[in-house]
Chains A and B, each alone.
Chain A
Amino acid sequence: MATSAPALRTSVSTPAWARWANDHRKWLFAGPAMAFVAVLIVFPVAWTVYLSLTDAEGSVRAEKELTGAANYLDVLADTSRFWPAVLRTVEFTGIALFFEVVLGMCIALLLWRPFRGEKWVRVAILLPLVATPVAVGMMWRLILDPNIGFANQVLGWVGIPPQPWLAGEGSALVTTAFIDVWQWTPMVVLILLAGLTALPEEPHEAALVDGTTGWQRFRFITLPMLMPTVVVAILLRGIDAIKTFDILYATKGKGGGSFHEVETLNVYAYGLSFDYNEYGVASAVLILFFLIIIGSMWALTARRREELS
């Protein structure tokens, strides 16, 4: 009785439009965001697919013709720019991800148990993470400058000859990958730390009673339990690392440097679009790039999906 009376009163006193709004609240709430996504994301992606099948180039208002798969065939046969860019993307992402996950795991384990001064270490971890990537690129450009940089000065103190860093044809890509490691390892630390804190204590304590070593407890208890979080960290970081642009553009400029030393797929697609106005070819590169990203995500989560099904 007490529960039905107020409900009755509302249904009488609410105006028709309000009742309509409540009945359709699912799409009333989700609709505007979905419309935004449709207009500004789904439609552009569809257009990119269309552009990749045309000879669009030059001015954005120029006439264009459908050329079918021609752009894709050209791109896939291009061993001077496209395939080296694929290799560089794989190398950059691989190096960055590997060190970010390994170092991230080590640092997360160091921070796991509470200690004095924890607050200050957490601040230090947060700062690189929120720093503007372009500014980070410029900062490292000064530190790693072969002539005036602090990095070579430090190497000099311990008797190591100066390195070319970003200026070297072979070393530039690895150097930029390590700038990425500096900025984004903290992100992996935070994710793994959240995972570690959520782990149950009992298995760990039981293993302690059984007289296991620290390494054994990590290898056979902590790591297997933490694995889902590690996969999430790899996924989140991998998606961003493979698309890195700001650091590469800030340190090496257009086209990934004069010899395209750091020209990854993203940098290549950007250059094709806005330095050469080759919109058709650029779109084909972007679609292939997108397929590579989706493919690697799919491969990475394959085992997990198997476990779930």
Chain B
Amino acid sequence: MSRRRSSFTTFRVAALVVVVVVLLAPLVWMLLASFKSNVDIYDSSKAVFFSPTLDNYTKVLAQANYGRFILNSFWVAFASTTLSLLLGVPAAYAMSRFTMNRSALVVLMARVIPGVSLLVPWYYVFSNLRMVGGYTVLILSHMFVALPLVVYIMMGYFDGLPLELEESAMVDGLTPIGAFRLITLPLSVPGIATAGILAFIFSWNNFMFALVLSDAHTKTLPVAIFNFVGYASIDWGGLMAAATVVTLPIMVIALFTQKYIVSGLTAGATKG
């Protein structure tokens, strides 16, 4: 028995090491390549040992005007997340407390609808209003991703908060809205943080909406990456530096908010 136990432990450790290596090695490779000159990238003998250079990053940040794209990405993700929370948190509360299942279903359908089917009508309407290329359209389009996520996570969260707290607050003289504002909302901060962080990440990572609805000045980072992909050749060093610039902020946020991200991604998974 004890020998079987220890052989299982050995197997488990080995398997976990393989999992970690497979998941992290590609990211490490991207990071390494972003510090290599293009000559070193083409030289397989310099896979791990090379003289690191910051040229790719100076090129990305200076020549390719990435400072602006970083701000674009940040502004669009921040605004769409904030607006989604403002609309989504009260809506989720009403849907949870009044069991508005049909309304909830309509909002959650947004997770199923292919984004392209919205892009065509949006493009139709917004180009007639001469709004394509502006921040407003980008923020609204990213809310399509963020709002259903907020409603989904917050509905689950409100379902889990006991009704008794609000009821006793109302007995003590608070109005229903007062009870929501002074009792439920402060208790929901972890849920709101979860929803906000995930909405921000998904908005930051979104590519397709900005691909169609942004212009040269408002494009977000995932679209701007394509500046390094030419028809004839690819500037690999610059491309990997650009890819690192997009992913690194989100990974840093993820490391510090791991608990919230995991609880948000698995929300509703165990209710069956």
Contacts and interface: CB of A to CB of B under 8 A. Distances in A.
Q: Which of A33, A111, A246, A250 has the most CB of B within 10 A?
A: A33
B148 to A, nearest CB: 8
A60 B204 CA distance: 28
B232 to A, nearest CB: 13
Given A30-B91, A135-B247, A25 B258 contact: no
Contacts of A150: 29, 47
Interface string B128-143: 1000000000001001
A136 B205 CA distance: 11
Interface in B52-97: 87-88, 90-91, 93-95
B117 A22 contact: no
Contacts of A269: 114, 116-117
A229 to B, nearest CB: 6
A6 interface: yes
A40 B212 contact: no
B258 A122 contact: yes
A36 B80 CA distance: 13
B114 A286 contact: yes
A138 B240 contact: yes
Contacts of A195: 269-270
Contacts of A273: 116, 119-120, 123
A289 to B, nearest CB: 6
B137 to A, nearest CB: 10
B176 to A, nearest CB: 5
B251 A131 contact: yes
Nearest to B150: A33
A245 interface: yes
Interface residues of A, dominant DSSP: helix
A218 B194 CA distance: 32
Interface of B: 12, 15-16, 19-20, 22-24, 26-27, 29-30, 33, 41-42, 44, 47, 87-88, 90-91, 93-95, 98, 100, 103, 106-107, 109-124, 127-128, 140, 143-144, 147, 151, 170-177, 180, 201, 204-205, 207-208, 211-212, 221-222, 225, 229, 234, 236, 239-240, 242-244, 246-247, 250-251, 253-255, 258, 261-262, 265-266, 268-270, 272
Per CB-CB distance, the 10 closest pairs between chain A and chain B, nearest first, are A33-B91, A6-B173, A228-B272, A44-B121, A29-B94, A135-B243, A29-B90, A194-B266, A30-B94, A47-B121
Interface of A: 3, 6-7, 9-10, 14, 18, 21-22, 25-30, 32-34, 36-37, 40-45, 47-48, 51, 60-61, 106-107, 110-111, 115, 120-136, 138-143, 148, 150, 153, 182, 186-187, 190-191, 193-195, 198, 228-229, 232-233, 236, 239, 243, 245-246, 249-250, 253, 266, 269-270, 273-274, 279, 282-283, 286-287, 289-290, 293-294, 297
